[in-house]
Structures are given as C-alpha cells and as structure tokens.
Structure 1
Amino acid sequence: MTQPIVRNSRLVASYRRYLASADTLRFAQQVSDAYLPSTLAKLLAVGCIEVRRAASLALGIVGDGTVVEALGRALSDSDRGVRLAADDAFRATLVRDAAPAHHQQLLQVMHLNDGGEFAAGLPPAMILANQSPGYAEAMHQMGICWEGLNNLDEAEAAFRKCLWLCRFHYPAWIGVARCRMERNDLGAALKALDLATSICPDLEVPRAQARVIRRRLGISERQG
C-alpha cells in the first residue's frame, strides 16, 4: 500500500528540485532512472495536482508513443498548469513517435514549413509519410505543405490521416477547419473547431473563430 506514496514522493521531490534549480538534465536523469513512461502516465491520470504537473513535465522528456493518449486526455485537465505542461509534452512526444532518423526528416520539413517553403517541404514530407505511415506528425506536416500550396483536398486528407492516427491531435482539427473555411463550409469548420477546443480548452483563437462562425450561422452559444 505504501509503494505508490513512495513513488509519488520521489517524483514530487525531483520536480521541486527542478523548479528551484531549473536543472533539466538532472531532472531528466532522475526521472528516467526511476520511472517508466507507463508509470508516469498512470500518475498523470490519478495523482494530485502537483503529481500531475510533475508527471506531465517528465513525460515531455521520457514519453513515447505509448503515452500520447494519456497526454491527450490531460490537455483538458482541470488545472491549467497541468494542461500547459501536458501540451508541451504532447507535442514533443508526437515528434519523437518514430525512429530517430525520421525525427530528423520531420524537423527538416517543419523548418521548411515554418519558413513558408511549402513546395520544398512537400517531397520530404511525402517520403517520410511513406516510410513511416504511422507517424501522425508527419501526416500533419504534409497537410500543412499541401495547404500552403492551396491544394485543399490533399491538405484535408492528410490532416484526417493524422487524426486517424491520433484523435487528440488538435492542430490537425484546426487544419481541417481552415480547409473548410476556405471552401466556405462553415458548418464543418465549426464542428472541427469545437472538437479542437474540446481537446484543448486553452485555444483562444479557434474559440474566437468558432464564435464568429456561430454568429454568421445564427447559432447561439447555448445552442453550440
């Protein structure tokens, strides 16, 4: 009966030392020595606020594809600190959810997309998606490439493939919403935005976009 308390105490102690020192390497070492990602995912689901914050931060360092769902659920945690830490961990884990060589390919595509070089990013994105068809973030980045090239059909298809792989991938839902707004399909865009904000309640811009669409469609907030 004492084992969970001991493990919680160790995690909290490491977390408090990290907050005092900002020594990420030390925290990473302590976490990786003492915890499996699956254990941290359980603590994230059932721990007190401080334990959940610590587990979220730790999963951002040691998390793998097996904890994506746990982090996705934590995006709507009642505590804002947990939500913010879980969001960072969720996005970091999505990037790591493939072989190391594929991480580097993905980072290249992300860099090109961030610079608006969508035509240059598309070929490596397509190669990566073919090499690692289960890599959700690769599908998301390919969708961004297609969207940047104004091919909305291919963009939405890629975003939906991402969502099939990871139902909590709220940026992909936002991508679907953008595609639908470009087509003036406001009902489908609203549904996608509502799904994104239900996953991650702190999304202010999508929430504001949803309010605008509701007004245009004559839907009250209560109805929505």
Structure 2
Amino acid sequence: MSAPLLVEFYLKLPQPQIGDDPDLLQAGMRESMNAFRDAVGAKYTEGTLQRLLTSSETSIRRAAALATGLIGTMRSNPHLSGVLRDTDTLVRKFAVESLWEIWFRGGTPDQNGQLQQAIRLPDIAQTLAALDDLVRTAPDFAEAYNQRATLYFRRGEYARSVADCETTLRLNPYHYGAASGMGQSYLRMNRPRAALRAFRQALEINPSIENLRDTIRGLETALDDAAREGGE
C-alpha cells in the first residue's frame, strides 16, 4: 500500500479557518474523522502505520500519527512514543493525542466501556467506586489506575495518587501523564526531590511538555539554594 494514498485521505480532512463556526466545525470534523478512520482501516494495517511514523516525509508522518490513534492498539504505544521527539510540531501533537486514545483503549472492549462510564459519573464517590471495581477485574489496565490517581489527587489523597501513578508506569512505562501527576502529588506532600525526579521522568518520555521545563528549573534552583543555606 502506497504512502501517498494515506496522505490523500489525510488531506481530505477540513482545515479550520479563522471565523469558522465552532459547532459546525466540530460536527464536520467528527464526520470527516470517521471517514478518515474507515478509509485508513480498509487499506492499512497497524504495522504499516507504525513503519510510516518514521517516514522521511513530514506529511506521511502526520497522517500516520493521526491514523494510529484511530485504529491502533497498545502495540503502537512505543512507536507513537518514539515520535514525541519528532521535529514537526503537528506530528508531535498528533502523537500525544493518539497516545491518549490508545491508552483509553488499553483494556478489553468491555473494560474500555467501563472506564468511559466511570469517568463520566457526576459524583466523585461513584467514580472512585467504579474505578475500584475496574482495577480489581482488570489489574493490567494501566489507564484505569491513572484515572484513579487523578481522582485521588483531586481528593487530596496524594500518597494513594502516587501509588497508582507508580502502577500506571509499571504497566505503561511511556505514560508521561502519570509521571507528571506523580510529581504534582509529591509537591503537595512537600517532597521536592521526589517531585523533581518524577518531572524529569515525564520530560524524558515527552520532551514537548514545555511547562515542565520551568517547573524543573524552579525546583532545581530551590533545592540548590536550600543546600547552600544548609551548608552555611
């Protein structure tokens, strides 16, 4: 299957313009993305898309990064993570979005549905109970732990959030979101060195998280200042 056909599918997607009606644009994008997914799925395998992620042609990498999120599985996790260092901003953006797509599809279809239902519940206690049930029945579903970690963070249960972030990273070592979330929890626990390690890990996985660079520099400066004051 020729790569230019993938680019042809990709170029049929609408390109947003200033002044477009947001509601109409969203509806049009949804229909176009469904058509793009169906066209790609009929002509390309996941393995082929993985290979195209490293193409020398930027347009091919963009199309492959976007398409992989629509039809890919957790088998594409390392491949998409590899292009988080791509020189093209849009390739990196599509890779980030596609990673989250496949992470949320990391279980069985039934488990994926349970996760979506859980995070849409209006009550935090109900969501937590649903996630507790899910991790018991799906102990290898990394995103279930990550979503529970986020919930624990919102409840101020930072140690529990860290524990779930650690489990997420054990199951999915490419989950920069869990690493960053763990850093935030450590900050709330007044453990700056542990926070710094977690933030560095997140940035190592995904170098495009620019806001973390300032956070890391701030922590490094604070720790250096504390060390100098302690030595005086």
Separation in 2, partners of 1:152, 1:47: 44
The more displaced of 151-160 and 200-209 is 200-209
Q: Match of 1:102?
A: 111
Q: Match of 1:174?
A: 180
Q: Match of 2:12?
A: 17
Separation in 2, partners of 1:41, 1:133: 27
Separation in 1, partners of 2:33, 2:154: 36
Separation in 2, partners of 1:210, 1:125: 31
Residues 50-109 of structure 1, C-alpha deviations (whole Å, 9 max, x = no match) = 111000110121011111111122222221110001111110111112122222221233
Q: Match of 1:119?
A: 125
Q: Match of 1:77?
A: 86
Query: In structure 1, which of residues 190, 208, 216 is the aligned counterpart of residue 214 of structure 2?
Result: 208
Structure 1 SS opposite 2:13: helix
Separation in 2, partners of 1:196, 1:48: 28
Q: Match of 1:58?
A: 67
The residue type equivalent to 1:7 in the other structure is S
Unaligned runs of at least 5 residues, structure 2: 16-27, 226-232
The residue type equivalent to 1:101 in the other structure is D
Q: Match of 1:8?
A: 3
Q: Match of 2:49?
A: 40
Q: Match of 1:3?
A: none
Separation in 2, partners of 1:150, 1:27: 42
Q: Match of 2:76?
A: 67
- Identical residues among aligned pairs (%): 27
Separation in 1, partners of 2:111, 2:5: 34
- How many residues are paired up? 211
Unaligned runs of at least 5 residues, structure 1: 1-5, 220-224
Tell me the CA shift for residue 47 of structure 1. Answer: 4.2
Tell me the CA shift for residue 19 of structure 1. Answer: 4.6
Structure whose alpha-carbon radius of gyration is higher:
2
1:128 and 2:137 aligned: no
